[in-house]
């Protein structure tokens, strides 16, 4: 692991020497894990400004650390508030395990929980896991899910496994086969639809991140399959062929089928009515992932059961009107 080369008090410049446990890790991910209590936005600001140095030189956030690298860290700003009792209790939230061995942990992330602390929250899934498993020597996120999204999340338990998982996710379509379920507004008509709409990231005046379809954006490809259709809403499966920020949410909104409960890209008037119908969350769930084990290469498939909130919304829709369309595999999906 990294060791301090001098006093690491966050009120002054500090230096760290990278050890074997951090080899191959992205600089931004290392800082997020190492600098507890420092807002993520502040960490990215000091990275962009060049205040973080590696071997006396400037590097970007994607730099991969090597054993022996010497990091210079400027004075760091801690979060202004202490963790409340309620937040401390939420660190003990149940994180159902879908698969685990010496190299890999796969959990079913609940909705409403960030995958890591920062950007206005003091803790996330990875911090909760580390607290729940105090003897674990290594736990690092292999990828991310939006705070509002539930479902399958992979965590590396060894550096070699984590590096292999990162390589797998960078390969996109050639790596993991990731499938999501989304309840959307409107009558979806096509059985299968490929969406190849480039995505552009930008910031609002308040610093909040947003994404839009724009010709000069990065290539993005999602395959949607219709599973169930009612008169006013549909359940679709989304298969990611690229892994852009908010990709499924923005592609669906762009098509005119926003995800129910999506507070960034959804139908805000409709969203206010959804809690009365039993839906109090964004209806997006990472339900299935097929991939090869990062060390053994053995094929794995993990399935996260459809959450109660989305099941309830489907039950309400069934009670209100007949299904206009139902794919053969829907019962299998709902029975997981």
Nearest to 184 by CA among 273, 256, 78, 121: 256
The catalytically annotated residue of 69, 146, 262, 267 is 146
Q: What is the 3-state secondary structure (H, E, C) of the chain?
A: CCEECCCCCCCCCEEEECCHHHCCCEHHHHHHHHCCCCCHHHHHHHHHCCCCEECCEECCCCCECCCCCEEEECCCCCCCCCCCHHHHHHCCCCCCEEEECCCEEEEEECCCCCCCCECCECCCHHHHHHHHCCCCCCCEECCCCCCCCEEEEEEECCHHHHHHHHHHHHCHHHCCEEEEEEEEECCCCCCEEEEECCEEEEECCCCCEEEEECCCCECCEEEEEEEEECCCEEEEEEEECCCCCCHHHHHHHHHCCCECCCCCCCCHHHHHHHHHHCCCCCCEEEEEEEEECCCCCCEEEEECCCCHHHHHHHHHHHHHCCCCEECCCHHHHHHC
Which residue, chain included where needed, has tokens 């995505």?
Answer: 199
First-to-last alpha carbon distance for the chain, in angstroms, is: 40
Token representation of residue 125: 């899934």
Nearest to 158 by CA among 34, 298, 67, 25: 25
Q: Across the strands, what pairs with 71? A: 16, 54
Phi-psi region of 60 (alpha: psi -120 to 50; beta: other; left: phi over 0): beta
146 is catalytic: yes
Active site members: 146
């Amino acid at each position: 692991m990294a060791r301090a080369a001098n006093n690491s008090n966050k009120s002054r410049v500090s230096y760290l020497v990278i050890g074997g446990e951090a080899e191959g890790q992205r600089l931004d991910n290392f800082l997020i894990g190492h600098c507890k209590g420092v807002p993520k936005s502040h960490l990215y600001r000091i990275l962009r400004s060049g205040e973080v140095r590696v071997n006396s030189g400037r590097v970007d956030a994607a730099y991969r650390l090597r054993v022996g690298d010497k990091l210079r860290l400027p004075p760091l700003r801690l979060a202004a508030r202490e963790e409340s009792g309620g937040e401390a209790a939420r660190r003990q939230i149940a994180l159902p395990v879908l698969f685990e061995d010496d190299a890999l942990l796969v959990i079913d992330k609940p909705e409403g929980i960030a995958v890591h602390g920062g950007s206005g929250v003091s803790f996330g899934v990875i911090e909760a896991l580390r607290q729940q498993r105090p003897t674990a020597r290594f736990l690092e996120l292999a990828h991310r899910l939006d705070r509002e999204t539930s479902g399958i999340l992979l965590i590396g338990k060894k550096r070699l496994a984590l590096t292999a998982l990162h390589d797998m996710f960078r390969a996109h379509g050639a790596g993991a086969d990731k499938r999501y379920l989304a309840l959307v507004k409107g009558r979806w008509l096509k059985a299968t639809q490929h969406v190849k709409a480039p995505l552009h990231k930008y910031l609002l005046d308040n610093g909040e991140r947003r994404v839009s379809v724009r010709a000069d954006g990065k290539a993005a490809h999602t395959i949607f399959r219709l599973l169930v259709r009612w008169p006013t809403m549909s359940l679709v499966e989304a298969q990611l062929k690229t892994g852009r920020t908010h990709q499924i949410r923005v592609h669906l909104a762009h098509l005119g089928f926003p995800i129910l409960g999506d507070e960034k890209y959804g139908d805000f008037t409709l969203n206010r009515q959804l809690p009365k119908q039993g839906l109090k969350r964004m209806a997006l769930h990472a339900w299935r992932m097929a991939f090869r084990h990062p060390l053994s290469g053995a094929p794995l498939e993990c399935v996260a059961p459809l959450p109660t909130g989305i099941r309830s919304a489907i039950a309400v829709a069934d009670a209100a009107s007949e299904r206009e369309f139902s794919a053969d595999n829907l019962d299998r999906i709902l029975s997981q």
